Amino acid sequence: MSSHPNLTVVDHPLVADKLSRLRAASTRPSEFRRLVHELATLLTYAATTDLPLRAVPVETPLETAECRRLAGPVTVVPVLRAGLGMTQGVLELLPEARVGHVGLFRDEETLEAVPYYRKLPPDAADGLVMLVDPMLATGHTAVSATGQLRDAGCRDIRMLCLVAAPPGVANMAEHHPDVPIVAAALDRELDARGYILPGLGDAGDRQFGT
């Protein structure tokens, strides 16, 4: 988007349809989880259109064909806990990807992200890292999680989220301008508590029924 060069909003009928169902307050946790999974798969397709490839010879039933495969490893890193629901959707398209985890919680008074856990594959820095979190609100969690990935040596980082807000996108652009963000929607604003409007509520609570 011209006002947010680090953001790509996926404009697709299937994304729009599933997101509208995800937003509905009447959507039950089981359906919410299914929709998060499906949207994550669609966003993964959009986020990986330019992954580097390497040439490989493949023996077909008839002859040797010159084919192409991904050039490097891919690591999926969900932000605990809400990002867990997106992980399997990413793995639908990238089953060979490894999965790391970054744990942060939001201080409800300061709205700052407080880290409490990090576990990554030892060679995560050798390839693409896809950071997944349903909501990009203030951006504090995304900035902190990306910083932890940087500390681990990761350089090729992309973020997938379902719904983003302008302050979060701007915060990421300020601190990590080279990290592209792929989202299903850019919503209007944040309320006084830092929740996205119109948003879809607390993605973690709605996934897990808490």
Catalytic residues: 106, 110, 202, 205
Q: How far apart are CA 183 and CA 38, in angstroms?
A: 13
CB-CB contact of 47 with 158 (8 Å): yes
Q: How far apart are CA 75 and CA 9, in angstroms?
A: 22
CB-CB contact of 128 with 93 (8 Å): no
CB-CB contact of 170 with 4 (8 Å): yes
**Side chain identity at residue 24, one-letter code:** A
Q: How far apart are CA 91 and CA 89, in angstroms?
A: 5
CB-CB contact of 207 with 32 (8 Å): yes
Question: Which two three-digit tokens encode residue 138?
Answer: 């203030």
Q: What is the 3-state secondary structure (H, E, C) of 95-107?
A: CCCEECEEEEEEC
